[in-house]
Amino acid sequence: MKYTLSLLIFLLFFSSLLAQRGANVNDASTSAIVLARVKYSGGGDWYNDHSAEVNLLKYVAENTTINVRPTFEYVELSSDKLFSYPIIFLTGHGNISLTETEAKRLRSYLDNGGFLYIDDDYGLDTAIRREMRKVFSDQEFQELPFSHDVYHSFYEFPNGLPKIHEHDEKPPQGFGLFTEENRLCVFYTYETNPSDGWADPDVHNDPPEKREDALKIGTNIIVYALTN
């Protein structure tokens, strides 16, 4: 697979980063890719749909050669464990609040090769844009063009994000924040909610084709994050 070499280089980099921070790179949490859920304050339900990441990682395992561990794990931005995950995931409804320390640690994580995927489960947009300004005071979210690699990293999405859930009858949009090296390090999906499509079928009763699209774009996000 064409991503194997890039993935190996990426994982070697993160192993080096962990070693510098005194972490044990042989720990189970670093032996395979886990999409860690961000636990945050502010009242939003950061914990909803535990099956989402598990199902997505199972799909990734079945359809790619990426070594994953299909499990639900969460991480707090204040924890040193943050730096053991190459990709983290944030979702929920309502509000999120980051402390100054959490914002600085998240920026350090992102600047050192980490990747954050944010999915608005509905009603999170105002808080996300406000809180991410604490992390990136020098930029606003930019909408990604359909030609961006995240839409083509494994499966082809020539028209950008698929529409998984109808919220306000708006088109789905994907936004990004970038490091100084112009690397996409935060990907934010709005008015589509792919992560609900990852959840067990009886949770949201999405039709099979919607769940498949959600799992495919989720795979693209993971592949992109690990190879860039």
pLDDT of residue 27: 42
Q: Which of 90, 109, 167, 175 is nearest to 140 (CA)?
A: 175
pLDDT of residue 205: 84
Q: Which band of pLDDT confidence, cut at 50, 70 and 90, is reported for residue 12?
A: very low
pLDDT of residue 29: 42
Residues paired with 176 in a beta bridge: 142, 187
Better-predicted residue by pLDDT, 25 or 58? 58
Joined together, the tokens standing for residue 191 give 């008015």
Q: Which band of pLDDT confidence, cut at 50, 70 and 90, is reported for residue 166?
A: confident
3-state helix, strand, coil in the chain (%, to 5): 40, 20, 40
Amino acid identity for residue 53 in this structure:
E
Q: pTM for the whole thing?
A: 0.86
Multiple choice CATH, 4-227, 3.30.930.10, 3.30.300.340, 3.10.20.30, 3.40.50.12140: 3.40.50.12140
Which strands sit side by side in the sheet containing 184-190, from one edge to the other?
74-76, 36-39, 87-93, 115-122, 184-190, 173-178, 142-143
